[in-house]
Structure 1
Amino acid sequence: MEQILAKTLLAGFEAAPAIPEGQMIRFVTTDSRQVGPDCVFVAFPGEKFDGHDFAAAALEAGAAYVVLNHPVEGVPAEKTILCPDSYQAMMRMGANYRAQFSPKVIGVTGSVGKTTTKEFCAAVFSGFGNTIKTEGNQNNELGLPRTLFQIGPDTEYAVVEMGMSHAGEIDRLARCAKPDAGIITCIGVSHIENLGSRENICKAKLEICAGLPEGAPLVLNYDDEYLRKAQLPAHVQPVWYSLTSGEADVSASAIRQEEDGMSFLVDDQDNGCFMIHIPALGRHNVANALAAYCVATRLGLPARQVIQELKNFRQTGMRQRVVDSHGVKVIEDCYNANPDSMRAALEMFRDFPCQRRFALLGDMLELGEISRAEHEELGRLAAVSNLEALVTYGEQAQRTAVTAAAKGLRTVYAHNYEEAAEALLRQVHPGDAVLVKASRGMALEKVLEIFYMERDAAALGN
């Protein structure tokens, strides 16, 4: 974060003291352990710790101001910014800080693929100038301001991911970040428990338009029926991409999965045709790459160089990371899961080059009333996905196992991480491949820890 005038950073807070002219703020923190001179400490109430209990100590450590939801005894009013919602306070300061700089900001949202699309965008824009991006899962009303605070005078591009679980959240994120262009990857069923229908999810994702300026490109997935029939605001310029239709502004054809990624032909109605190879597996990643291509070219970057920069994409975290465990290829895709991403992963895995295919699948969380039906549908999909055997873990994934077994697929339902690892260890041999996927809360990486340790021990024993 660059130093900023306190009056500028704290503008718009109704309950704020008189701020001296020329007073500077060096950084904003929500962690009392990171407090230092000339910072703003924002107190968040929590189940285990309440930041308000550390407000006085923050001032003693040099904080210029503390942002509180309510007055705290012993904390002087002249050092207190009162705001009933700490998230709202972070968003206000993030917006005030972002307004001092003029990078091209790209906002990315969607039910599935937004993080990977963000990474494709970051790979592209990094080839054209100093680029920052959302790190990890910092895509909410706390994480977005933290990302914006990374912007400096030399920042040319900022790629910000926008997540949500309720209506209105992306509206607030977009108004804070003020993106110059937006991407909506697709409309799935994540958070349908809160929003009620995919139509409502689509409306919530389209809230990104609230922060887009007149004529801004809005990149949309033509293959998504909910986006295609959505009523778009008149002030945005839609740019459609597709894997199935030549009617889109940009389309992909001749898609081929290779051992190290995907090759395909890009047909851009504005810029012509190009062959491309990306270091990512699955047709869904072709769509993610197309979205990044569209936003970069519609912001004026040359198409041929954009395609070259797409090759610099790298997966993050536990998203389709391929690990060789003594001859067994393991595709670690444990970061998140929902019906759409599960379907895409199984489709990719069907064409993965190996001798035999095994899958370890866990629960898909936050599906509400549709959870049972979707886990049973996952079992039907697994049964026709060219798998040698299926291992499942989780209460809902038991339904997946039962359905897959009824369709003739050999299945094992594991009650714990050890059983899941043992089920895989008993069956796989060098030349085989294993797909591991579930919602983040299932922590399937714990199964992999056991699996890798046992295979390492067996290799040493030989």
Structure 2
Amino acid sequence: MEAIAANILLEGLAVNALAQCETPVTLVTTDSREVCPGCIFVAFPGEKFDGHDFAAKALENGALCVVLNHPVEGVPEEKSVICPDSYHAMMVLGANYRSQFHPKVVGVTGSVGKTTTKQMTYAAIAGFGSTIKTEGNQNNELGLPRTMFRIGKETQYAVVEMGMSHAGEIERLSKCARPDVGIITCIGVSHIGNLGSQENICKAKLEICAGLPEGAPLVLNGDDPFLRKAVLPDHVRPVWFSLGDENADVCALSIQQDEKGMSFVLEDHEEGTFLVKIPAMGRHNVANALAAYCAATRLGLNARRVIAGLADFEQTGMRQKVVHVRGVDVIEDCYNANPDSMKAALAMFREYPCKRRFALLGDMLELGDISRAAHEEVGRQAVENKVDYLVTYGEQAKRIAVVAAAKGLPTLHADTYAQAAEALLNKMQPGDALLVKASRGMALEKVLEIFYKE
């Protein structure tokens, strides 16, 4: 974080003497352990700890001021900024800081593929200048301002991921980040329990337009029926990408998969035709690469250099990471899961070169009323995509097992991590491959810990 005058950072929040304070601030933190002289401490109430309990200590340790939901005994009024919502306070601070710098920003949202598309966009852009990106899962109203605070005088580009679970969140994130280009990867069913329908999810994702300037490119998946029929704001310029539709602005043709990733021919109506190779498997990752390419080139960056950057893309965490152990390929894709990403992963797995295909699948969480039907559909997809042996784990995943077994797929529903690992260890042989996928809350990596140790 660059030094910035307190009154600029606190604009819209402070109404006391701090509104005129020009003392430079070099840190905004929500962690009392990070407090240092001249910083701003934002107190968050929590289940285990309440940041308000540490406000007085933060001032003792040199904090310039503290942002509180309410007055706290022992904390002077002149050192306090009262804001009933700590998340709102962070967003205001982040937006005020962002306004002092002028990097080119790409905002990424969508139901599936946000993080991979963010990583691909970063790979496409990073070779052109100093670039930052959202780290980890910092894509909400607390994490996005933290990303803004990492922008510096030397920062030329930023790739910012925007997540949501309710209407209105993307609009606030976009107005804070003020992207120059927006990406919507697709419209799925994540958080449909909160939003009610995919149409409402589409409207929520389109809130990214609220932070886009006049004439800004909005990169959209032309194969998504909800985006195709959506009414777009007049101030954005749609850039459509597609797997196969040559009428789209950018499309992929001759798509092929091997053990190293995907290759395809990219046709861009503006830039020409290119052969592209990416180190990621599955047609869904071709779509993610097209989105990243569109964003980078519509910022004015050289197409050939963008494609060279995509070839250096690296996955993060447990997203389709391939681990080779005892002659077996394990595809760790257990960072998250929803019906759309499950379908994409199984379709990818069908094309994966191996002797036999084993799948360890767990619950997809937060699906509300559609949960049963969605899990049953995964059972059908496992059969259709030629899985040879299926292990399931989790209460909802029982429906995957029931449907798959009824269709003749050898299946075991495990009650424990150890039971799941044991079943796989007993049946898998060199040359086989294993796909592991579930929502993050299912912690299927605990099965892998056992599997790898044996």
TM range (shorter): over 0.9
Confirm or deny: 8 A CA contact 2:6 2:18 kept in the other structure. no
3-state DSSP of counterpart to 1:132: strand
| 1:36 paired to 2:63 | no
Q: Give the superposition deviation at 1:24.
A: 1.0
Whole-Å Cα distance in 2 between the matches of residues 309 and 16 of structure 1? Answer: 49
> Which residue number in structure 2 is paired with residue 65 of structure 1?
65
Question: Where do 1:150-299 residues align within 5 Å?
Answer: 150-299=150-299
Deviations 1:213-259 (A, max 9, x none): 00000000000000000000000000000003111000001000011
Q: Deviations over 1:170-193 (max 9, x none)?
A: 000000000001000000000000
State the Cα distance separating 1:17 from its structure 2 match: 3.4
Q: 1:218 touches 1:238 (CA, 8 Å); kept in 2?
A: yes
Matches within 5 A, 1:51-450: 51-450=51-450
The one-letter amino acid paired with 2:436 is V
Q: Distance in 2 between matches of 1:15 and 1:138?
A: 29
Deviation of 1:421 after TM superposition, in Å, equals 0.5
Q: Distance in 1 between matches of 2:326 and 2:207?
A: 47
Q: Which amino acid aligns with 1:185?
A: T
CA distance in 1, matches of 2:19, 2:391: 61
CA displacement, residues 359-394 of structure 1 (integer Å, 9 cap, x when unaligned): 000000000000000000100111111111000000
**Distance change in 2, residues 1:223/1:300 (3 Å):** same
Residues in 2 aligned to 1:285 and 1:417: alpha-carbon distance in whole angstroms? 29
Unaligned runs of 5+ in 2: none
Distance 1:217 1:446 in 2: 42
User: Given residue 184 of structure 2, which amino acid in structure 1 is its aligned partner?
Assistant: I
For the 8 Å contact 1:17–1:77, the answer to whether it is kept is no
Secondary structure at the counterpart of residue 93 of structure 1: helix
TM-score normalized by the length of structure 1: 0.97
**Per-residue displacement from partner, 1:248-279 (whole Å, max 9, x unpaired)?**
00000100001101000001011111011000
Alignment match, 1:458: none
Structure 1 letter corresponding to 2:93: M
Residue 15 of structure 1 and its aligned partner are, at CA, apart by: 4.0
| Contact kept in structure 1, 2:18 and 2:79, CA below 8 Å | no
Percent identical across equivalent pairs?
71
Per-residue CA distance 1:279-304 (angstroms, 9 max, x = gap): 00000000000000001111111111
Aligned to 1:10: 10
Q: Secondary structure at the match of 1:66?
A: strand
Corresponding residue SS for 1:127: helix
Q: Distance in 2 between matches of 1:244 and 1:278?
A: 17
In structure 1, list runs of 5 or more residues that go unmatched: 455-462
d(CA) in 2 for partners of 1:330, 1:437? 11
Whether the 8 Å contact between 2:7 and 2:18 is mirrored in structure 1 is no
Classify the secondary structure of the residue corresponding to 1:219.
Answer: strand
How far is the alpha carbon of 1:19 from its aligned partner? 4.6
Q: Which runs of 4+ in 1 moved over 3 A?
A: 14-22
Contact 2:105/2:180, CA 8 A, preserved across alignment: yes
Cα deviation code 1:185-204 (max 9, x no counterpart)? 00000000000000000000
TM-score relative to the length of structure 2: 0.99
The number of aligned residues is: 454
Contact 1:17/1:81 (8 A) holds in 2: no
Say if 1:15 and 1:83, in contact at 8 Å, map to a contact too.
no
Which digits, 9 at most, give the CA deviation of each residue in 1:378-422, with x for residues without a partner? 001111111110000000000100000000100000001001101
1:460 alignment partner in structure 2:
none
Deviations 1:287-346 (A, max 9, x none): 000000001111111111111111110000000000001110000001000000000000
Q: Counterpart in 1 of 2:451?
A: 451
Corresponding letter in the other structure for 2:355: Q
Secondary structure of 2:329's counterpart equals strand
Deviations 1:2-51 (A, max 9, x none): 11100110011154434554311110000011111100000000111100
Shift of 1:67: 0.2
Q: In structure 1, the residue corresponding to 2:313 is in which secondary structure?
A: coil
> Structure 2: which amino acid aligns with 1:283?
R
Pairwise CA RMSD of aligned residues? 0.8
Secondary structure of the residue aligned to 1:106 is: strand
Secondary structure at the residue paired with 1:379?
helix
Counterpart AA for 1:10: L
Partners of 1:118 and 1:161 within 8 A in 2: yes
The one-letter code sitting in structure 1 at the alignment partner of 2:410 is R
